[in-house]
Amino acid sequence: MERGRWVEVADGVLVRRYVELDQSLGLVVGGERCLVVDTGGNDPQGEELAAAVREVTALPWSVMITHAHWDHFFGTAAFRPCDVWAHPRCRDEMASSADEQREAWAQRYRDEGKPELADALLRAELVLPDREVAPRVELDLGGRTAVLTHPGRGHTDNDVVVHVPDVATVFTGDLVEQGAPPLIGRDAHPLEWPSTLDAVLALDPVVVVPGHGEPVDRAFTEGQRDELTVVAGLIRAVEAGELSVEAALRRSPYPEDVTRPVLDRVLASRA
């Protein structure tokens, strides 16, 4: 299993970085408890993360799942027993789609010549959240509060961010991505995503930790919000028949393979 590396972004706030999927998982350490932000995509990764957390702190832990995509929750078994927080729609989506997600990505890994990752994903134990974030929870970690909040729909309809106010840090899950365009998948809400990032920016972060990529700052997040605003405008124009898909693709801030599937879904909904 790939070993991650810690990046400390503030006192007692760390990001565990992995080469696979350019993934970023989080840790917030208080005086009495710690909070793990996402657990990775299989049992070995979860076990590696849990061991790495124990090298940092022996405090009791809680887990927060930012959204219902497999690479953020299939490592949770390594942390039991613990409370697992998520948006209620995240739990529902995990329960209904986890097997479909794992089978699709296992096939992708096999196609990419990574059978060990496919096998690990197929063997991963699904642990469903047992605590609800709807829409805001303040977790007392002992001398530090971690605020879990659903800022709106964007990457999914169940995105939750973790705000650590005393160090102006926000873990955003895949509402923000660094190193690649944000994934505007079938379960995304691109028309609402910019306003959801406005809600994240209203937390006045200095450090923003994306679900994939290196930690970024407020300016980067504003730039991604602005790009998504352009995409939302193109979607509305195509939906209204004011712009062709090809014209919209030329104006998009993102590559065709990111933008076209979104616009094709718009056309399909009009058919």
Task: Please give the share of the chain, as a percent, with pLDDT higher than 70.
Answer: 99
Q: Which of 12-26, 43-57, 73-87, 254-268 has the lowest mean pLDDT?
A: 254-268
pLDDT at 92 over 80: yes
Pairing of strands 13-18, 145-149: unpaired
pLDDT in tens, 212-235: 999 999 999 999 999 999 999 999
Whole-number Å distance between alpha carbons of 240 and 51 = 52
Task: Please give the share of the chain, as a percent, with pLDDT higher than 90.
Answer: 96
Q: Is 181 left (phi over 0), alpha (psi -120 to 50) or beta?
A: beta
pLDDT at 271: 61
Average pLDDT on 139-155 reads: 98
Q: Which residues pair with 64 in a beta bridge?
A: 37, 85
**Nearest alpha carbon to residue 118 among 102, 131, 136:** 102
Q: Which residues pair with 26 in a beta bridge?
A: 15, 37
Mean pLDDT over all residues of the chain?
A: 97
DSSP element (H, E) containing 241: none
Report the C-alpha dihedral over residues 147, 150, 154, 155, rounded to 10 degrees. 70
Residue 266 pLDDT grade (very low, low, confident, very high; cuts 50, 70, 90): confident
SS3 at position 264 = helix
Question: Is the domain 5-270 a CATH 3.60.15.10 member?
Answer: yes
